Amino acid sequence: MRRFDHMLPSCKEQVDGILFLFSFTDRGSFDDLSNQISRITESSDRVVKLVVGTKFDLFMHTDVTESDIAHFQEVWGLPVFRVGGDVSAGLGEVAPLLNALAENLWHQDCMAASTVSISPQAALRETGSEIIV
């Protein structure tokens, strides 16, 4: 992020979701998550936020413990998904992440739609429908 910080405002325009990544084998990337989330998002943002820990399959070399993850989830209230480096498993490993992303985006759209009130006349103009009395 530091290297491309000048692009951040453009990247945040009309964004629906943000994936925050860290590596289970790099403690520094995990420790920097809180800073990244605070810097990139605001509490008023209606943006889906998910955290993905990579290299979970390298458990012998992990620098991030399950208690670290539990504490992070408790403090930030964000789900943490675990993925490995082996891509031979296909979609099976990333399916829960993709499902959660889709579900959260759908929920966000439903919430946004319920806060927008539109008059029946405006709705008719939008759809191009006519009422015959």
Average pLDDT, whole number, for the chain?
74
Sort 64 into a burial class: Cβ within 10 Å, 0-12 / 13-18 / 19+: buried
* Mean pLDDT of the 72-94 span: 77
Q: What sign for the dihedral angle of Cα 59, 60, 64, 65? A: positive
**Measured between alpha carbons, how far is 98 from 96 in angstroms, rounded to an integer?**
6
For residue 71, the model assigns a pLDDT of: 94
Q: pTM value? A: 0.66
pLDDT of residue 67: 92
Predicted local distance difference test score (pLDDT) of residue 132: 35
| Lowest pLDDT segment from 4-13, 98-107, 117-126 | 117-126
pLDDT, tens only, 17-34: 888 889 888 899 899 898
> What is the β-pairing status of strands 48-54 and 80-82?
parallel
